[in-house]
Amino acid sequence: MSRSPVASARLTSSVPLLAPRPPLFLALIAHLLLLGYALFVFTRGFLLSRIALPDVSSCSNSPVPGSWPSPPSSQSSSAPVGCWSSRPPPYKHALILLVDALRFDFTLYDPSLSEPIPPYRNKLPIMQHLLDTQPRRALRYQFLADPPTTTLQRLKALSTGTLPTFIDAGSNFGGSSILEDSWLTQAALANRSASFVGDDTWLSLFPDVFRLSHPYPSLNVWDLHTVDEGVLAHLPSMMESKEDTILLGHFLGVDHCGHRHGPSHPAMAAKLKQMNTVLTDILASIDNDTIVFIFGDHGMDGKGDHGGDSRSELEAALFIYSGRDLDERGEEFDHLLRDMDQQRSHRSVAQVDLVPTLAMALGLPIPFGSLGSIIPEI
């Protein structure tokens, strides 16, 4: 059957409509390429990323060649010589007590405050008591975190002295192990042991470095006590053994209390009072070869949350207690103390400053990627 001329004409005119239109197809390809390029720029540039350096510091590899004494192995004297320092290591042991989310103002004590005061104020009097009664052994600082103020990123910064990135923030609840140089790496290289009890995040970051470890689950923020009770169960015997150069205890109750109730809740008062009792007992048993660092990894906002860069989230507390007087540096230290008294304000140090300070206190090389400064009073 032959088509009518009209039908043939319709068919002929419809053929160009079914064929691909080159300009539209090219526009689609160009759009996809542009999208891919934008995604590449976003992931590589907008979101900060960084390269983890594989380098590891060593005593024999001074950062400033010629300006430091020879490493201990080449010293003729039998006296111990610190790494990168002309003086012996100041301490044999470091006790690190991380009170998660210990905001700076939680550690203040002012009996002249009139009621009503917030539930978190005046509940940790032990720190002010030691600052008043043993000013040459105790120091307190605002301990400033770099955002993001999340525990995993803070632990990386506090152990390696580096700055975390926002890509890291996405992995807060599933941290992979740290391969960069840290004070735990340095202790292991020097055949000095470290043990740990508390928040199990440390084990995901450092799965192989601890002589003893007692990890407790960290993700149930409604649980205010399990991790803290675990620390209290093991820490006394670990301290007594004196086998470790570094002993690490990570309390989590204050942080979880913030998440569950916020800081302005009677439960926070009770938790801080418990911490006060714990710290009082521990600090009473410190010998003169030990230095104690008690600090928060971040603060918390008015609702008890953290992660951002508000002042209340960034301002954690650092309390340092030495088993012996810190005045061995003589006039310089006295001058510094006088200055601090005159200023009547609290000194601030960066959280990354813990890394070189701890390393030098123990006579270890400062981890390779460390960006902080040594706290001069130590």
The binding site for Zn ion (CB under 5 A) comprises 255
Q: Which is nearer to Zn ion, 89 or 253 (CB)?
A: 253
Q: Which is nearer to Zn ion, 234 or 298 (CB)?
A: 298
Q: φ and ψ at 56, to 5 degrees?
A: -130, 130
CB of 340 to Zn ion, least distance (A): 31
> What is the CA angle 324-160-314, rounded to 5?
80
Which stretches within 101-181 are classed as H helix?
Answer: 125-133, 151-160, 166-169
Give buried/exposed letters for 229-240 (b at 16+ CB in 10 A, else e). ebbbebbeebbe
Contact (Cβ atoms closer than 8 angstroms) between residue 124 and residue 106: yes
**Sheet bearing 194-199, strands edge to edge:** 213-216, 194-199, 246-251, 93-99, 290-295, 315-322, 138-144, 348-350
CB of 101 to Zn ion, least distance (A): 6
Closest residue to bound Zn ion by CB: 255
CB of 75 to Zn ion, least distance (A): 46
At residue 338, the 3 state secondary structure works out as helix
CB of 215 to Zn ion, least distance (A): 17
Q: Which is nearer to Zn ion, 31 or 303 (CB)?
A: 303
CB of 98 to Zn ion, least distance (A): 12
CB of 151 to Zn ion, least distance (A): 6
Q: Which is nearer to Zn ion, 81 or 152 (CB)?
A: 152
**Tokens encoding 371:** 């960006």
Q: Which is nearer to Zn ion, 188 or 252 (CB)?
A: 252
Beta-sheet strands, E only, within the chain: 93-99, 138-144, 194-199, 213-216, 246-251, 290-295, 315-322, 348-350
Q: Which is nearer to Zn ion, 255 or 301 (CB)?
A: 255
